[in-house]
Structure 1
């Protein structure tokens, strides 16, 4: 008796789980988990500050789940709309819609599902209609404002489009307080001013990719020295905003010290990048500045999270 049918059946049974795992990994990749991680880094400290201590575990977990669903939906829409660009750029050529791991229809259904579920989640589970509305605005800002309108049309795309990435602090604050105030607005502005000096170094590193895809990122269409000058300006505005937060939110000297020290450190990094462009150096070390920007934001928001537990004795006022 031939063993060929048995071998074929065995191979098929082994291939099915692998295909399923590839599809699941593809859908997870559509949500861009690393971006979501960065968003959650800002959400948790914001909620702690809003609650003046730890919010309830249920509220914290519910908001993080809702935020992950909302950001995942927006990122899935972005992956669907930018699939032509991703196919051209080497950095994104392995994304699931390019490789075929996920179908275009499947990606679109997935994006709509996450977006709708996240809105209902904030409204019904978290119990914050304001957070639900802000979540919808964040999705619209990223999908329509940035991806569909700004990204392919203006060198300032990441500046105004990056506002969508600032929304988690407003959502987190609203989930705790059911309102907004100047404090979450300043938290929003910190991330707003941080976004260009965070993202433009990455755009410098992959300038060729963006140029090939005809995406007019500022480092693609402007001299590197001009980009470096603008990065310094945004970084300086960011540091000023972190200092303003100390007074508006009655923060402690611990927070203020971390904000100033980390801000000066990051600002110096931007100045050093400018000096390298002025000297005509070819190795700008832009990716080191990109990584430093993530470290900076983590340090500042870690200080924000610790601050309420020190406020009784160390207020700056």
Structure 2
């Protein structure tokens, strides 16, 4: 399970990475470096869109063993994709402020060792999901990882301003995987949640890209905030936010939820739209980061998605 917009969570993770001076790395530093390659904060976000869907699919509490297997398999899959991303992007990571403290730019882990590590995680994810969950969930995890690594990282990211829009498809798969882990089949309900994450990714990532647009510009990655004025970025964020909120409300009639989910979705959506419009308004009068405050919307987007999927999990429990 991967998330093409994972650079958003990376910013928080990389800023918190322990600093290391010159000289041989200690064992603890090496272990931390390998863990860092998997981008744990990204994994947390992806699992947050997996487990609640399992509760919703089970219309209650799913079997604990199934949840554990799905979480472990999903963690290995997301970690594997992140490792491959770090290997491929190590040249630009070394030049960007927010990524230059990763393990590969600091030469704590070699590219070859990282590749082996990523491959092992990928194989383990397939084995765990195939044996202890089901073949469909394993296939979806492989598809998500392949699209993230080959589609987003290697093709889209450095070539188009639409990189995060279509690359974000990879980060939508956890909703499908959580559902199929319980039911063994696809349905319209997880597709709606898939689309919620799809429309959530651009506002979430573009807010972060506004904050680090100089970094992206310096390495010729054409994120939208690099090639378009802040006002246009703000407008695009507002448009995607409106579609995201409308899609989130679509779950109510499609899945036949109880009253908890639509109320929470409506309130969260209204708050998010207010924040998105406020940021857009600030871009109309200024271009400096201190005025635009893009990280405020970035943090709001994390909270929005977290609480929305908590509501997805709670709805069937409260009905029961």
Task: Identify whether the pair has TM-score above 0.5, normalized to the shorter chain.
Answer: yes
From 92, 102, 105, the equivalent of 2:99 is 92
The answer to whether the 8 Å contact 2:275/2:297 transfers is yes
* CA–CA separation in structure 2 for the residues paired with 1:121 and 1:34: 21
Secondary structure of 1:85's match? helix
Give the secondary-structure state (helix, strand or coil) at the position aligned to 1:118: helix
Question: In structure 1, what is the equivalent of residue 317 of structure 2?
Answer: 309
Q: Provide the secondary structure at the position in 2 that maps to 1:291.
A: helix
Displacement after TM superposition at 1:177 (Å): 0.5
SS of the residue 2:35 aligns to: helix
Rounded Cα–Cα distance in structure 1 between residues aligned with 2:97 and 2:317: 46
Give the whole-Å Cα distance in 2 for the aligned partners of 1:54 and 1:265.
29
Render the CA deviation track for 1:144-198: whole Å, top value 9, x for unaligned.
0100000000001001001111111111111110000000000100000000000
Matched, 1:290 2:298: yes
Would you say 1:77 and 2:84 are equivalent positions? yes
In 2, distance between residues paired with 1:165 and 1:281?
30
Which has the larger share of helix?
A: 1
- Flag the structure with larger Rg: 1
Q: Distance in 2 between matches of 1:311 and 1:219?
A: 44
Deviation at 1:113, TM superposition (A): 0.8
Question: Could you tell me how far apart the structure 2 residues matched to 1:28 and 1:122 are?
Answer: 21
Q: 5+ residue gaps in structure 2?
A: 1-22
After TM superposition, the score normalised by the length of structure 1 is: 0.91
In 2, Cα distance between equivalents of 1:217 and 1:311: 43
State the match for 2:239 in structure 1. 233
1:1-317 alignment, distance < 5 Å: 19-126=26-133, 128-280=134-286, 282=288, 283-311=291-319
Where does residue 5 of structure 1 map in the other structure? none
1:282-304 deviation per Cα after TM superposition (whole angstroms, max 9, x unaligned): 31010011000000011111111
- 3-state SS of the aligned residue for 2:105? helix
- The runs of at least 4 consecutive aligned structure 1 residues that moved more than 4 Å come to none
Could you list the runs of 5+ residues in structure 1 that have no partner in the other structure?
Answer: 1-14, 313-317
Change in 2 beyond 3 A, CA 1:78/1:281: closer
CA RMSD, Structure 1 to Structure 2 (Å)? 1.2
Say how many residue pairs are matched.
Answer: 296
CA distance in 1, matches of 2:38, 2:129: 18
